[in-house]
Amino acid sequence: MLFGSVEEVDNNKKRSSCSKLDFLSYLRSLTMESTLEQHLDDTMKNPAVVGVLCTDQQGHNLGCRGSLSDEHGGVVSVLAKQAAALTRDPTDSPTVCLESESGNILVRSHGTITVAVHKIAS
């Protein structure tokens, strides 16, 4: 048979459609990742900002720049969760501000993502 059995052709179609779906998912994730990377870069363009970090709900690093790094992800995530626990309104998303003489670190959750921004004192 020139093209193989009907079953082989059907299996190839299934594999082909799965490959297309996997590829489309991969492209979407690349787009989201590049969008996040662009937001991180844009945030760092502000002269007062010396660090930025994005984490998921478990504190895993989604992206960071400057003074904030992977090692800060867990602490940032927990701070945001603990601040949210202090409010009775589940739709409220409080901002945590850690102040020091050299600057501030602002922490806030946006849906499933937590963002921390380190700003130097002016």
CB 69 within 8 A of CB 53: yes
pLDDT category of residue 29 using cuts at 50, 70 and 90: low
Output the pLDDT for position 17.
44
End-to-end CA distance of the chain: 77
Q: How far apart are CA 36 and CA 39, in angstroms?
A: 5
Output the pLDDT for position 90.
81
Share of the chain above pLDDT 90, in %: 59
Judge whether residue 23 has pLDDT over 90. Answer: no
Does this model's pTM top 0.75? My answer is no
Residue 121, CA distances (Å) to 26, 49, 103, 116, 118 in order: 41, 10, 4, 16, 10
CB 50 within 8 A of CB 66: yes
